[in-house]
Amino acid sequence: MSEKEISKAVITRLPRYYRYLGELLEDGVERISSNDLSVRMKVTASQIRQDLNNFGGFGQQGYGYNVKYLYAEIGKILGIDRQHNIIIIGAGNLGQAIANYANFEKRGFLIKGMFDINPRLIGLVVRGIEIRSVDDLEQFVKDNDVQIAALTIPKTKAPEIADRLVKAGIKAIWNFAHTDLSVPEDVVVENVHLSESLMRLSYRVCSIQDSEEERNRQSEIME
Amino acid sequence: MSEKEISKAVITRLPRYYRYLGELLEDGVERISSNDLSVRMKVTASQIRQDLNNFGGFGQQGYGYNVKYLYAEIGKILGIDRQHNIIIIGAGNLGQAIANYANFEKRGFLIKGMFDINPRLIGLVVRGIEIRSVDDLEQFVKDNDVQIAALTIPKTKAPEIADRLVKAGIKAIWNFAHTDLSVPEDVVVENVHLSESLMRLSYRVCSIQDSEEERNRQSEIME
DNA sequence: TAGATTGTTAATCGATTAACAATC
DNA sequence: TAGATTGTTAATCGATTAACAATC
């Protein structure tokens, strides 16, 4: 019996639950009800219970959820109880920013290597991680059991590198290049399109401004 | 008559339309039907037509959409025909990565200044942008008509800086800190939670692996 | 036991897709 | 005119919220 498909919306919310539970844990909170959590997170308690029940009954009637237990369970669901070996392709600022973010390692994401085509970067060491030539990519992926590649390179180079990664047996691409990648269906692509994020922000700023101006115009007419 | 509310899902897709239309424009394509575009973008033609018709009738029966015109119109909708003044708070790798991404300026996002608390960074110049002390934040925002602040600082510092920005009159926060911010409702927060993105990726990798293992187990049983 | 709160079913709401008349 | 394709209405699908019996 293949487990029922979990909707994308639920998966998007899981890491946020995980973050809030982690904070509760740090604050020494032992248990929490879906209602209390819903107030903190500004979502409905119904949604929290529905979301969690996709994966099992983690709570207890009359008690709520044990924070430590639920935190661990969501961690398992997200797969951050396992080790993931990562490489970063593109050792520019963005690549280095990722390499320097220590918290990823706490969650089982181990950065095994960085790659670039710039000879001036090759050989440098960032946080103990050597920057290698992209020529050595395939061999390195095979030798180090690398599952995930972060792509922090210009969009022009991304499709070719993605193809090489897929052929080398990578399982997932964390894509920061401003383009869509086409990969076989058993390879995961998670896009982080920063320029699109900034445009959404722009839209929202402008639409607030516009509606304020509209309101002002309306009130002028009323006078 | 306040314009009808546009759903979040539509807004999320707009920048992607904009990107594809930009590419078509570069390739010299003059017109495109919703059907052709839907094939390229791997969405339904229905969805494209519904999405666009939230903002007006940009097409023509029997012809399709004029690429150049539609590109410009979506640009206007997204507000990237206007100028947005941005500051970056946190001049680490991530802040510098954003400062160095030239394409933002092409779309009207002008980086006016960078800020940090690290004395060793203050005074440095990145791509012509001086790194200033966070002490000067409020004055700078007022003097330079800054609307948007990118927050590339640790989560512990983010809420306090966000408060200061709001008081200084900022309109939007592009939040890279791993925490939620609470701001007045006329201030926009666009979150880029990279660690959550990586967890979603992890979930998807693991769920593919698990279902493959499940399949293997099933076929063993069948033998 | 009484009170609290879950897990789960049912009702509602919203988003996506299908269909087709309008029209270029 | 005939063919193509939009804009838009209607049908479907899925996600969210409400409600409540089960139960700790």
With a cut of 90, say whether residue B102 has pLDDT above it: no
CATH of the domain at A117: 3.40.50.720
Same domain as A169, residue A200? no
Look at A199 and B210; give whichever has higher pLDDT.
A199
In this prediction, residue B116 carries a pLDDT of: 98
Helices (H), B79-113: 93-100, 103-106
Q: Give nearest nucleotide to A64 (CA–C1').
A: C5
Q: How far is CA A63 from CA A32, A58, A59, A60, A72, in A?
A: 8, 11, 8, 5, 18
Q: Is the CB of A57 under 7 A from strand D?
A: no
With a cut of 50, say whether residue B90 has pLDDT above it: yes
In this prediction, residue B3 carries a pLDDT of: 54
Determine, for residues A171 and B195 on separate chains, whether the beta-carbon distance falls below 8 Å.
Answer: no
Same domain as A169, residue A106? yes
Same domain as A160, residue A102? yes
CATH of the domain at B35: 1.10.10.10
Chain B residues in contact with A192 (beta carbon < 8 A): 192, 194, 197
- Residue from A9, A172, A12 nearest B209 by CA: A172
Task: Read off the pLDDT band of A223 (50, 70, 90).
Answer: low
d(CA A165, CA A145): 12
Q: Does B39 touch chain A (CB under 8 A)?
A: no
Other Cβ atoms less than 10 A from the Cβ of B110: the count is 14
Task: Read off the pLDDT band of B1 (50, 70, 90).
Answer: very low
- Residue type at A12 in one-letter notation: T
Same domain as B156, residue B101? yes
Q: In this structure, is residue A186 part of a structural domain?
A: no
Q: Is the CB of B12 under 7 A from strand D?
A: no
Q: In this structure, is residue B143 part of a structural domain?
A: yes
Range of the domain at B124: 84-192
Same domain as B187, residue B212? no
d(CA B194, CA A51): 22
Q: In this structure, is residue A1 part of a structural domain?
A: no
Q: Last residue of a domain, which of B78, B97, B116?
A: B78
Same domain as B124, residue B42? no
Each residue of A147-170: pLDDT tens digit?
999 999 999 999 999 999 999 999
Provide the Cα torsion A108, B180, A5, A85; round to 10°.
Answer: -20
Q: In this structure, is residue B215 part of a structural domain?
A: yes
Q: Give nearest nucleotide to A32 (CA–C1').
A: C5
Q: In this structure, is residue B170 part of a structural domain?
A: yes
Q: Does A104 touch chain B (CB under 8 A)?
A: yes
Structurally, chain B folds into a number of domains equal to: 3
Structure tokens that stand for B50 in this block: 């519904």
Structure tokens that stand for A10 in this block: 């639920």
Same domain as B183, residue B99? yes
Q: Last residue of a domain, which of A25, A53, A78?
A: A78
Same domain as B54, residue B97? no
Q: Last residue of a domain, which of A21, A50, A78?
A: A78
Same domain as A91, residue A68? no
Same domain as A62, residue A24? yes
Each residue of A51-64: pLDDT tens digit?
999 999 999 999 99
What's the DSSP call for residue B10? H
Query: CA of A7 vs C1' of C22, distance in Å?
Result: 38
Average pLDDT over residues A90-112: 92
Each residue of B35-65: pLDDT tens digit?
999 999 999 999 999 999 999 999 999 999 9
Query: CA of B38 vs C1' of C16, distance in Å?
Result: 14
- Residue from B191, B11, B131, B207 nearest A188 by CA: B207
Same domain as A163, residue A101? yes
In this prediction, residue A1 carries a pLDDT of: 37
Each residue of A15-55: pLDDT tens digit?
999 999 999 999 999 999 999 999 999 999 999 999 999 99
Structure tokens that stand for B185 in this block: 């409702």
